[in-house]
Amino acid sequence: MNQAAEQRILVIEDEPGIVDFLQRGLQTAGFAVEAVGDGIEGERLALADRFDAIVLDLMLPGRGGLEILAAVRRARPSVPVIVLSALGELDDRVTGLDAGAVDYLIKPFSLTELVARVRAQLRAAEQTAPSTLTAGDIEVHLITRRTTRGGTTVPLSNTEFELLAYLMRHRGQAVSRLQILAAVWGYDHDPATNIVDVYVGYLRRKLRTPGNPAPIHTVRSVGYRLDAAG
């Protein structure tokens, strides 16, 4: 049986002391943490599909926390965001946003308080997120990490599973190789790599059944699209 994957937290904060405090505290609490101090890079990472929650400072170089928050709410509305703010920075623009997925902590805060908030937000997000993704006769069970086609289990490696789950979440949409690369492999990968094409090839072979090719289509000069109807 697969263990539930480690939950990944993105920390967007530019004060090294706070970053260090957050990183050590969240790691001790069992989370995988990635930290970034720049607003532009922070937004890029926040929109990648690989974080379960985001801890976001408001005052950042490059791009402000409010802009990042708005972009995340548009593109990835189910991802919980915990906003860190100095007293007085928090204004109606933040507090007026959909409160369900946005939480606030006023600096200074204790680590216990932060970890409790992160856990509470992750629990709330899990309850609203679907545990199964479906496209035609393909089903991906996110909790057991089991994939079936027409009811038959398709054994996938971890990377193949993450790739399929990403395509299923965006079913019916063309997604670029770069988007896929960022979401499944992370940005530290060389964008010139053909790893996405290689893994799409693996997935197609594993998902096809006689007379029934995998519904993953190549979209010319863009990337790939998984058909919703299968």
The footprint of Ca ion (CB under 5 A) covers 14, 57, 59
Q: How far is the CB of 81 from Ca ion (least distance, A)?
A: 15
End-to-end CA distance of the chain: 28
Question: Which runs of consecutive H residues, i.e. helices, occur in 62-194?
Answer: 65-75, 92-95, 111-128, 158-169, 177-180
Residue 59 or 122: which CB sits closer to Ca ion?
59
Q: How far is the CB of 112 from Ca ion (least distance, A)?
A: 22
Question: Which runs of consecutive H residues, i.e. helices, occur in the chain?
Answer: 16-28, 39-47, 65-75, 92-95, 111-128, 158-169, 177-180, 195-207
Q: How far is the CB of 57 from Ca ion (least distance, A)?
A: 4
Nearest position to Ca ion, beta carbon: 59
Residue 59 or 125: which CB sits closer to Ca ion?
59
Give the residue among 227, 199, 222 at the shortest CA–CA distance from 212.
227
Q: How far is the CB of 86 from Ca ion (least distance, A)?
A: 8
Count of beta carbons in the 10 Å neighbourhood of residue 42: 26
Residue 15 or 227: which CB sits closer to Ca ion?
15
Q: What is the 3-state secondary structure (H, E, C) of 25-40?
A: HHHHCCCEEEEECCHH
Residue 57 or 103: which CB sits closer to Ca ion?
57
**Strand partners of residue 225:** 174, 217
Structure tokens at 213: 């090719």
Q: How far is the CB of 72 from Ca ion (least distance, A)?
A: 17
Residue 107 or 123: which CB sits closer to Ca ion?
107
Residue 19 or 142: which CB sits closer to Ca ion?
19
Q: How far is the CB of 24 from Ca ion (least distance, A)?
A: 18
The crossing angle, in degrees rounded to 10, of helices 111-128 and 16-28 is 60
